[in-house]
Structure 1
Amino acid sequence: MSSAEAKAARRTKFEGVFEKIRDELISHFAGEGMPAEAVEWYRNNLNYNVPGGKLNRGMSVVDTVEILKGRALTDDEYFKAAVLGWCVELLQAYFLVADDMMDASITRRGQPCWYRVSEVGMIAINDSFMLEAAIYRLLKVHFRSQTYYADLLDVFHETTYQTEMGQLVDLITAPEDKVDLSKFSLERHRLIVIYKTAYYSFYLPVACAMLVSHIPESYTVPTSPPSTVRPYDLALSILLPLGEYFQIQDDFLDFSGTPEQIGKIGTDIVDNKCSWVVNTAIKLATPAQRAILDENYGRKDAEKEKKIKALFEELNIRGVYAEYEERVVGTLNKQIDEIVEVEGGLKREVFRSFLGKIYKRSK
């Protein structure tokens, strides 16, 4: 089996678990005496918004559990890990349905945003709430008897709150209809990225995998002298910079990648996004170059967009990014190499697998 075939098989197996939990959620909903039209609506909401993405976040829960256990998972272990993976995907769906309304977006994953579907409209607000509530229904049904149940609830609630903090800062920093680059900075960008993306996209899947694998809050490693490791803090210290690197890479590809390469037309410039690229340009720009940024960034105008792209080339954003990438990857590799592995503890491969998927990616 080729690597592409193996990847497709993994996805198909993971999607099979979604079908089970979707039917379980709908059965419970119908069992509450909800009318047939409401049951159908909920089914459509789940089918339309949850399974259609790349599924990287959800599948990484399963991958991480396999690495931590160091063997193939039993059917029950796989199912539990996959349920947690789908809880992460439900959280993502909840954020996206709401985010698309806030941004007045048109399409998502190659189809109209849910709120733009005929008859949905503002009902999508409640639908987003139902996607979030489904997480806690699944956690209750499948993990209520586990010793780490309260920790799962805590990490989902905390991560949701952190992501909403980041979303607020992003919305007030870079509204699409009002350009004010004085609000932009690399420090502000980092805050947005870590809170809006890194916690739920990188830390949450790994924390779920660690909990279901019974990784303790702390353990002793046989260094000289012996030292205490707090594995969740250690994971956070690597995964947040990793998530920041991922988003900076995404920002760079929006500017530098072709539509054929990244599967879409980059719109960060015309949409007034507080991206790493424009913040780096602000930091490097002369007063004259800053004036070009102020006059042309965030405008729905192809000529102004061209001027911004030309300025980015003039400022050698590509070279700055290449230096950044090598520097951050070097730092992350050093942190990963320093992890002391013990039975029942964190493994370096958890982080190497994440980094391997991201480093030098082109889409």
Structure 2
Amino acid sequence: MSTDKKAFLDVFPVLADEILGELRKHNMPQDAYDWVKNVSTRAGLVRFRIEPWVCFITTFPVVSTSLVVVHYFYTPFGDHLRITAPALLLTLSSSPRPTLAGKLNRGLSVVDTLRILRGDNITDEELFHARILGWTVEWVSSNCPLPRVLFFARETSSHAITRDPIQLQAFFLVADDIMDSSYTRRGQPCWFRKENVGMVAINDGIILESSVYIILKKYFKKTQYYVELLELYHEVTFQTELGQLLDLITAPEDNVDLSKFSPAKHQFIVIFKTAYYSFYLPVALAMLMAGVKNENAYSQARDILIPLGEYFQVQDDYLDCYGAPEVIGKIGTDIQDNKCSWLVNQALVRITPEQRKILDQHYGKKDSKAEAAVKQLYIDIDIESVYKAYEEKSYTEISAMIAKVDESTGVKKEVFTEYMNKIYKRTK
């Protein structure tokens, strides 16, 4: 293990002691104190594989333990939170590599961007805080690893903690599942479908959102950019909710109406639902940490990162249909799920009236034969060539914008080229 990574892991016991000290300040009952101490100790013994994201992922127990403290403080005898909140740390401590879902790209982007902006001047404290901000990004993202693992645990009648494939997405997706009356999300039962949860899931979603601001207050209240952090999170959260709204009313799974689809709607959904929080938010957070104050720097970043985010989501839509399941790690379901995908929107503006009948008849049907009919239609109109032309056009246009970045404003071209290099022609 490298010196840097060992030093990072060695910090954890100190932080755990500080958090336990906070419990004493609030005169927490001994059983609650012992519970958190046990969880913290076990989490501190976690050993990870030496991988690029190891330092980032080991920050999680610190942040999670902070939330456990808050949960105990407000509901020291509340079984619902008392069981589920510490369960994440128990899950982490029981395996050689954390079973967190996702690649953590959003969270790691905060760290990567700050490294580029600060260069050799970056301090260990700055890296630690960047990782914390990275976790808050993951919590508000639609592929949020925290809820997926946090609510892996369930309470049995004997109050024992056991692993169970219960999934809770980021806070603004919990309500979406309820409004859709969905049964599963990404192949797992929706959180509100769990026995004894029901509409309590709405409050769980709100708690997840509040947890972000608890962490921000704990670690960033004394920074000069604290207010800007809060404003940025509120702004991006609102933008994401707008994208979620349009997605919900445009493409409900149980009511297929392709007349509601259009390339313009798809673009709005993608930009507001994905691009702002997945691409702009991590970079803007790092820029705030780096002391970038020039508004033009943020405008330049937004003008590049939003198209990058749109391109990224179009890639996802394409890979859902054409990607190899063994490579992308899943079987695409956009056609059967009535998704307002880039592919179907491009097909709608290119097909003949007869082909439209085929699409209307088969799109959004939970049937493999219907899905195959739609895929054959895509082949007939050569949607792959349409995508490849879009990809090259996007790459050329975004690269041109990157080349024009004014680095005197405080932002660097390398931030954006790193993004582009990671996603251009990706296969998963």
TM-score > 0.5 by shorter chain: yes
Amino acid at match of 1:336: I
Amino acid at match of 1:287: P
1:120 and 1:53, CA in 2 relative to 1: closer, same or farther beyond 3 A? Answer: farther
SS of 2:330's equivalent? coil
Q: Name the residue aligned to 2:424.
A: 359
Task: Give the total of aligned pairs.
Answer: 346
1:99 and 1:12, CA in 2 relative to 1: closer, same or farther beyond 3 A? Answer: farther
1:94 and 1:8, CA in 2 relative to 1: closer, same or farther beyond 3 A? Answer: farther
1:71 to 113, 120, 134: 120
Alignment check: 8 A CA contact 1:18 1:51 kept:
no
Task: Quote the Cα distance in structure 1 between the aligned partners of 2:132 and 2:191.
Answer: 24
Q: Name the residue aligned to 1:9.
A: 51
Task: Quote the Cα distance in structure 2 between the aligned partners of 1:46 and 1:276.
Answer: 39
Task: Quote the Cα distance in structure 2 between the aligned partners of 1:300 and 1:39.
Answer: 39
Task: Quote the Cα distance in structure 1 between the aligned partners of 2:226 and 2:244.
Answer: 27
1:257 to 310, 313, 323: 323
Alignment check: 8 A CA contact 2:171 2:205 kept:
yes
Task: Quote the Cα distance in structure 1 between the aligned partners of 2:405 and 2:395.
Answer: 16
Amino acid at match of 2:400: K
* Residue 181 (1) aligns with residue 258 (2): yes
* Residue 128 (1) aligns with residue 224 (2): no
Task: Quote the Cα distance in structure 1 between the aligned partners of 2:176 and 2:284.
Answer: 24
Structure 2 unaligned regions, length at least 5 = 2-47, 92-98, 142-169
Alignment check: 8 A CA contact 1:115 1:121 kept:
yes
* Residue 306 (1) aligns with residue 372 (2): yes
1:361 and 1:14, CA in 2 relative to 1: closer, same or farther beyond 3 A? Answer: same
1:269 to 317, 332, 335: 335
1:89 to 138, 152, 171: 138
Relative to structure 2, which stretch is displaced further, 34-43 or 298-307? 34-43
The correspondence of residues 18-37 of structure 1 with structure 2, limited to 5 A, is 18-32=60-74, 34-35=76-77, 37=79
Alignment check: 8 A CA contact 2:106 2:134 kept:
yes
Q: Name the residue aligned to 1:221.
A: none
Task: Quote the Cα distance in structure 2 between the aligned partners of 1:195 and 1:245.
Answer: 13
Task: Quote the Cα distance in structure 1 between the aligned partners of 2:100 and 2:233.
Answer: 19
Q: Name the residue aligned to 2:85.
A: 42
Alignment check: 8 A CA contact 1:185 1:279 kept:
yes
2:244 to 149, 162, 167: 167
SS of 2:130's equivalent? helix
Q: Alpha-carbon deviation of 1:166?
A: 0.6
Q: Alpha-carbon deviation of 1:307?
A: 1.1
SS of 1:265's equivalent? coil
Measured against aligned partners, the alpha-carbon deviations of 1:212-250 in whole angstroms (never above 9, x if no partner) come to 1110134xxxxxxxxxxx011111100110000001010
Higher relative contact order by CA 8 Å / sep ≥ 6: 1 or 2?
1
Amino acid at match of 1:39: R
Alignment check: 8 A CA contact 1:163 1:195 kept:
yes
1:64 and 1:356, CA in 2 relative to 1: closer, same or farther beyond 3 A? Answer: same
Q: Alpha-carbon deviation of 1:297?
A: 1.1
Alignment check: 8 A CA contact 1:91 1:132 kept:
yes
* Residue 285 (1) aligns with residue 327 (2): no
Q: Given the two structures, how large is their TM-score scaled by the length of structure 1?
A: 0.89
Q: Alpha-carbon deviation of 1:46?
A: 8.5
* Residue 316 (1) aligns with residue 382 (2): yes
1:143 and 1:188, CA in 2 relative to 1: closer, same or farther beyond 3 A? Answer: same
Q: Alpha-carbon deviation of 1:32?
A: 3.4
Alignment check: 8 A CA contact 2:176 2:248 kept:
no
Task: Quote the Cα distance in structure 2 between the aligned partners of 1:280 and 1:325.
Answer: 14
1:199 and 1:119, CA in 2 relative to 1: closer, same or farther beyond 3 A? Answer: same
Identity %: 50
SS of 2:331's equivalent? coil
Relative to structure 2, which stretch is displaced further, 8-17 or 305-314? 8-17
Alignment check: 8 A CA contact 1:251 1:276 kept:
yes
1:54 and 1:254, CA in 2 relative to 1: closer, same or farther beyond 3 A? Answer: same
Q: Alpha-carbon deviation of 1:148?
A: 1.0
Measured against aligned partners, the alpha-carbon deviations of 1:78-107 in whole angstroms (never above 9, x if no partner) come to 111111111111112323444444451525
Task: Quote the Cα distance in structure 1 between the aligned partners of 2:173 and 2:106.
Answer: 14
1:236 to 295, 302, 306: 302
Task: Quote the Cα distance in structure 2 between the aligned partners of 1:316 and 1:322.
Answer: 10
Task: Quote the Cα distance in structure 1 between the aligned partners of 2:188 and 2:254.
Answer: 24
Task: Quote the Cα distance in structure 2 between the aligned partners of 1:338 and 1:7.
Answer: 40
Alignment check: 8 A CA contact 1:57 1:88 kept:
yes
Q: Name the residue aligned to 1:142.
A: 219
Relative to structure 2, which stretch is displaced further, 322-331 or 13-22? 13-22
Alignment RMSD, CA only?
2.4
